[in-house]
Structure 1
């Protein structure tokens, strides 16, 4: 069942992430989509929800009220709407692909004319961490709230979400400086594996959550964007660890 509510009190992306997080934790809720500008929250649940349950789930600074009646059988959405949603996801992933492209171009320019595979991969990983941490730092609070929605460690230890971007900065600098590479590769695998576990759980639970890999600056579909990001880095780390290059 699908219901759209009016949510008052949201003023920034951090608020959007907070509302999404708290509503997603309600039992029976399978998907939450929050629109900051419209001050709306659309909730898909297994059964009708009582408005008091939603109010109790949200922090006191937010006021939530019903906007329209429940809509059953959400799977019967028209083909036209489904196509629009599909295009929307592809369009949302476009910034991620562009960032990868520009990182690759900078990486190539830095290593011209040798183009040694190991050096290319290390520089790519370093640039990747530096660029992605920058986007997170634009809205550290918003990132932390979004990240805690699916990263298991950030859920258990909230301060980890605030520290995570700085971990990426450190990894990026050390990769570019070629310092303690074996240790950095292991840390990369551990950190990204933890996030991947959370993404997998969200995917299996069919939950729609904003990706926090680029902070709250860009609205990316979490599962696709995070899997693409993690897959690239995990494969590179494994290749380097096992000396396949």
Structure 2
């Protein structure tokens, strides 16, 4: 006798489109030990009729023991999984950048010296600068608009918001290569110094709750300690290179 729980899943499976969330719902149900009665909605008419009949706006829809659980996110909540709310702030994007930058820095150090040395730190900072600049350059218009909310120089000279990601990328790449330090060090000091002062004023003096433009204009990273860290790292990198006589 089959004692496994059962679920009914309605999902779009059309010749030109198979709903990815339907696939995810199927995988999650099976992973949780359910026998799935997989019911395909194969035409737009079938989808519209199903939505109207059940009073829902989206598919897939899962039913367990005759009770509608809902879409894929609702199914995850039903199983006690965390589902990020739309528009919620998160540090995950910038932490992911720092983690990838650290791995790249370690790889560069190992490739060049077959060991891990103190050079991993400047390589990490320079790589993080390049990655953060890349994210900003995906949509410079959005970035510059968010940047104007708190950057003191951009508020006085709007084009600075467009210049910033290129300056950050250029300084990071030159520092990583150890080339043209007479240019990269002043640029990093300049943009990092202004950025640090701007973030500190907005967050710790004016107590404003803003989104940071550090990982691009579409992020929900809150302006705060991590945002300040980006700019402090640039300044520290430049000061360190000056101290070492680069």
Name the TM-score class by shorter chain: 0.5 to 0.7
Which of the pair has more CA radius of gyration?
A: 2
Q: Summarize deviations over 1:1-46 as a string: whole Å, max 9, x none.
A: xxxxxxxxxxxxxxxxxxxxxxxxxxxxxxxxxxxxxxxxxxxxxx
TM-score (norm 1): 0.58
Q: 1:98 aligns with which of 50, 75, 96?
A: 96
Q: Which has the higher contact order (CA 8 A, sep 6+)?
A: 1
Q: Secondary structure at the match of 1:117?
A: coil
Taking the TM superposition and a 5 Å limit, the aligned residue runs for 1:5-44 are none
Taking the TM superposition and a 5 Å limit, the aligned residue runs for 1:136-155 are 136-155=136-155
Question: Cα gap change, 1:230/1:209 in structure 2, threshold over 3 Å: closer, same or farther?
Answer: same
TM-score (norm 2): 0.57
Taking the TM superposition and a 5 Å limit, the aligned residue runs for 1:194-213 are 194-203=194-203, 204-213=205-214
8 Å CA contact retained: 1:125, 1:233: yes
Deviation at 1:139, TM superposition (A): 1.5
Taking the TM superposition and a 5 Å limit, the aligned residue runs for 1:63-212 are 92-112=90-110, 113-118=114-119, 120-203=120-203, 204-212=205-213
Query: 5+ unaligned residues in a row in structure 1: which ranges?
Result: 1-87
Deviation at 1:192, TM superposition (A): 0.9
Q: Secondary structure at the match of 1:222?
A: coil
8 Å CA contact retained: 1:182, 1:241: no
Deviation at 1:241, TM superposition (A): 2.1
How many corresponding residue pairs? 156
Query: 5+ unaligned residues in a row in structure 2: which ranges?
Result: 1-87
Following the alignment from structure 1 to structure 2, what is the Cα–Cα distance between the partners of residues 130 and 107? Answer: 12
8 Å CA contact retained: 1:150, 1:195: no
